[in-house]
C-alpha cells in the first residue's frame, strides 16, 4: 500500500472514497473548487465532536470562498451517519458536509495520517487543495489538541488572496502587529526598483514593502 505524506504543490492524490453523501472521486469531483480534507481520530469522541460542530458553524464561510469541507476517519459509514444524527439530536447542529469512511485505512495510509504511537487511529490532519487540485497547505495536530477552525479559514482566504494579487501574507493577517490588514509586496529584484522603494512611506526598507488591497 502506498504510504507517505505528499508534498506541497503536488497534485492531490487521486482516490475514490465512500462518504456519507455517496461515492466521491478526489480531486476530480472538486474540480473548480478549493477543498479542505480533515481527518479525526474516531467518531463518538469529545474533541472530535467539538471540531465537527466548529467546522459546521463555519461551513457557510468556507462555501462563500468556493471551498468545500470533507471529513474522514477510519470508521464505517454507518458509524459516521449515526454520529452525525447524534450531533443533530443532542447539539442541534446538522453536519452538512460529507465524511469519508476510510474503514480499510487506504486513504489514511496514502496521506500519512496514521502516526507512530497512535495505534490505528488517524491524527488530526488537514489538507487544503486549490481549485486546480494542487495541495497547498498541510497541518498536523496530535490527538490531544483540537484544531482552530478560524486559522483554517484564514489559511484558505490568505492563499486565495496571495494567488489573486501576487503578494505574500504577513503573520496574523488581517490583524498583523506591524502592517494591519495590508499584504506584503514581493521584494525588489533589481537595483532600480530597490532605489525607488527606499524611503517610501509604505516600505520599511527596499525589501519590506506593503500595500492595502
DSSP calls for 137-186? EEEEE-TTS---HHHHHHHHHHHHHHHHHT-B--TTTTSBTTTBT-EEEP
Gap between the Cα atoms of 152 and 157, Å rounded: 9
Check pLDDT > 90 for residue 187: no
Q: Which of 48, 67, 203, 209 is catalytic?
A: 48
Q: What average pLDDT does the chain have?
A: 91
Q: What is the pLDDT of residue 106?
A: 83
- pLDDT for position 84: 97
pLDDT in tens, 71-124: 998 889 999 999 999 999 999 999 999 999 987 778 888 887 776 665 566 778
Average pLDDT over residues 9-21: 93
Same CATH fold assignment for domains 15-148 and 166-213: no
Lowest mean pLDDT across 53-57, 124-128, 165-169, 192-196: 192-196
The question of whether 209 is a catalytic residue gets the answer no
* Fold of domain 15-148: Glutaredoxin (3.40.30)
- What residue spans define the domains of the chain? 15-148, 166-213
CATH of range 166-213; options 3.40.50.11540, 3.30.1020.10, 3.30.430.20, 3.40.50.300? 3.30.1020.10
Position 74 scores a pLDDT of: 84
User: So what's the pLDDT on residue 143?
Assistant: 84
DSSP letter at 28 equals G
Q: What is the pLDDT of residues 17-68, one digit of tens each?
A: 999 999 999 999 999 999 999 998 889 999 999 999 999 999 999 999 999 9
pLDDT of residue 1: 41
Could you give the CA distance from residue 20 to residue 134 in angstroms, rounded to a whole number? 24
Please report the pLDDT score of residue 115 as a whole number: 63
* 113 vs 1: which has the higher pLDDT: 113
Amino acid at each position: 500500500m502506498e504510504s507517505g505524506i505528499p508534498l506541497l504543490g503536488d497534485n492531490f492524490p487521486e482516490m475514490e472514497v465512500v462518504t456519507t453523501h455517496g461515492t466521491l472521486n478526489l480531486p476530480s469531483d472538486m474540480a473548480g473548487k478549493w477543498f479542505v480534507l480533515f481527518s479525526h481520530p474516531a467518531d463518538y469522541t469529545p474533541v472530535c465532536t467539538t471540531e465537527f460542530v466548529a467546522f459546521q458553524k463555519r461551513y457557510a464561510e468556507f462555501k462563500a470562498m468556493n471551498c468545500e469541507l470533507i471529513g474522514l476517519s477510519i470508521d464505517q459509514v454507518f458509524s459516521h451517519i449515526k454520529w452525525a444524527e447524534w450531533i443533530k439530536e443532542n447539539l442541534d447542529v446538522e453536519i452538512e458536509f460529507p465524511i469519508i469512511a476510510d474503514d480499510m485505512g487506504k486513504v489514511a495510509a496514502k496521506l500519512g495520517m496514521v502516526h507512530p504511537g497512535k495505534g490505528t487511529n488517524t491524527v488530526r490532519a488537514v489538507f487544503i487543495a486549490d481549485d486546480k487540485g494542487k495541495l497547498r497547505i498541510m497541518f498536523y495536530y496530535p490527538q490531544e489538541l483540537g484544531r482552530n477552525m478560524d486559522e483554517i479559514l484564514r489559511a484558505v482566504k490568505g492563499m486565495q488572496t496571495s494567488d489573486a494579487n501576487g503578494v505574500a501574507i504577513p503573520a496574523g493577517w488581517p490583524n498583523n502587529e506591524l502592517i494591519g490588514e495590508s499584504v506584503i509586496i514581493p521584494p525588489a529584484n533589481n537595483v532600480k526598483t530597490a532605489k525607488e522603494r527606499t524611503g517610501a512611506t509604505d516600505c520599511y526598507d527596499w525589501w519590506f514593502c506593503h500595500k492595502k488591497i
